[in-house]
Amino acid sequence: MGTMIRKQVKTRTKERDTLLQHVRKEWVLYSFLVVPVLYFLIFKYAPMLGNIIAFRKYRGGPNFLGTEWVGLKYFEMFMKDPTFWRAFRNNLLLSIFYLIIRFPLTLIFALLINELKNIGIKKFVQTVSYLPHFISTVIVAGMVKELLSLNGPVNMLLQQIGLPKLSFISLPEWFPTIYISSGIWQALGWGTILYLAAMTNINTELYEAARIDGANRFKLAWHVTIPGILPTIMTLLILDIGGILGSNFEKILLLYNPLTYETADVISTYVYRIGISGGSFSYATAVGLFEGIIGLILVTTANYVSRRTTKSSLW
């Protein structure tokens, strides 16, 4: 009976319906899409279209598409603005160092968790290390300020080993260290979750075969585990490369201050200050659009290179 129905279905789909017939037949499923697609048009695609005010004058009010064309005026303006280039440089440096340090650490941590034999300990380490991911940036920034305050544990330690106390939060040379280390605290555990998920999907026969060939644990990790999770590694790397002009915007906004702009101001905080605080909407949009387009180019390029070299890609 069941096979008969399936046969009928098969023969029916063979003679392909026209698109209209197809939509009519599946209209219940398609009806699910109506509201969400409208939602995407209004809240995701309309703002993309709103980027047009980078080329047009926006005079306030509800017309978010601006009033008259001004060409590349705003782009020329920020290209000549040293503050923009400072934000650009800071952004690149923070993101690249963060990526270079965090990426391998996360992978190593995932491999080490995978080696834990005691299920209870493994669960405990995972539970604890995922936790910071769920903590509000406001609290993370608050913790950083408390830990680094003049009476906080870091300065107490410095005092005990005979070094002078430092007011870390207002020293520009310390900002990258604070940003990167707090970022690793937040992201290390959570970053392993996709690797660990991918590791559980590796065929155990591969391990058996390698073990019979005399591979030790280090070789198993290198020749079986890492190739097994390579698609995941590449996916995450492509996304991270695309986000190199992005940043943990909230955290920087909460941790920086005029004393540390020199190293802490990044593109998104710059956009925020000149756009929202300063009211130069079109100018700020031009800077934001620049960041968005570079991001798109980076992610596309990384995807292309990865598809060519490792055969894994996002699309």
Partner 1 sequence: MDTSVSYRIFRVFNAIVMLLVVLVTLYPFLYLVAQSFSSEAAIYAGKVSIFPVEFTSATYQLILGKPDFYRYYGNTILYSALGTFIAVFGTAVLAYPLSKERLRLNKFFIPFVLFTMYFSGGLIPNFILISKTLHMRDTMWAIIIPGAISAFNVILMKTFFASLPNEVEEAAKVDGLGGYGVFFRIILPLSKPILATITLFCIVGIWNNWFGPALYLQSKEKWPVALYLRQIIDSTVSTAEVGASAESSAQIAATIKSAAMVLTSLPIICIYPFVQKYFVQGMMIGSVKG
Touching partner 1, residues 62-101 (CB under 8 A): 62-64
Q: Are 294 and 66 in contact (CB under 8 A)?
A: no
Stretch touching partner 1 by CB under 8 A, among 69-77, 80-88, 95-103, 146-154: 146-154
Number of other residues whose CB lies within 10 A of the CB of residue 21: 10
User: What's the CA gap between 230 and 220, in Å, rounded?
Assistant: 14
User: What's the CA gap between 267 and 249, in Å, rounded?
Assistant: 9
| Backbone Cα Rg of the chain | 26
Member of 72, 156, 163, 209 binding partner 1 (CB under 8 A): 156
Touching partner 1, residues 244-303 (CB under 8 A): 249-250, 253-254, 257, 268, 271-273, 275-277, 281, 284-285, 288-289, 291-292, 295-296, 299
What is the x/- site pattern for partner 1, positions 105-144, by CB under 8 A?
Answer: ----x--xx-xx----x--xxxxxxxxx-xxxxxx-xxx-
Touching partner 1, residues 204-243 (CB under 8 A): 216-217, 232, 242
Question: Any contact of residue 307 with partner 1 (CB under 8 A)?
Answer: no
Q: Which contacts qualify for 202-210: CB closer than 8 Å, 24 or more apart? A: 202/228, 202/229
Write down the least CB distance from residue 58 to partner 1, Å. 7
Write down the least CB distance from residue 193 to partner 1, Å. 6
Both structure tokens of 234? 């590449």
Question: Any contact of residue 22 with partner 1 (CB under 8 A)?
Answer: yes
Member of 194, 210, 237, 305 binding partner 1 (CB under 8 A): 194
Member of 87, 178, 198, 266 binding partner 1 (CB under 8 A): 198
DSSP 62: S
Q: Are 270 and 84 in contact (CB under 8 A)?
A: yes
Write down the least CB distance from residue 229 to partner 1, Å. 11
Write down the least CB distance from residue 75 to partner 1, Å. 14
User: What's the CA gap between 131 and 312, in Å, rounded?
Assistant: 30
Question: Any contact of residue 21 with partner 1 (CB under 8 A)?
Answer: no
Question: Using alpha carbons only, what angle is made at residue 14 by residues 17 and 32, rounded to the nearest 5 degrees?
Answer: 50
Write down the least CB distance from residue 92 to partner 1, Å. 19
Q: For residues 94 and 169, which CB has a smaller minimum distance to partner 1 in the complex?
A: 169
Member of 11, 14, 15, 32 binding partner 1 (CB under 8 A): 32
Q: Are 247 and 266 in contact (CB under 8 A)?
A: yes
Write down the least CB distance from residue 72 to partner 1, Å. 17
Secondary structure string (H, E, C) spanning 201-224? CCCHHHHHHHHHCCCCHHHHHHHH
Name residues whose C-beta falls within 8 Å of residue 49's C-beta, 6 or more positions apart in sequence.
65
Question: Any contact of residue 23 with partner 1 (CB under 8 A)?
Answer: yes
User: What's the CA gap between 266 and 94, in Å, rounded?
Assistant: 9
Member of 7, 12, 24, 30 binding partner 1 (CB under 8 A): 30
Write down the least CB distance from residue 44 to partner 1, Å. 4
Question: Any contact of residue 38 with partner 1 (CB under 8 A)?
Answer: no
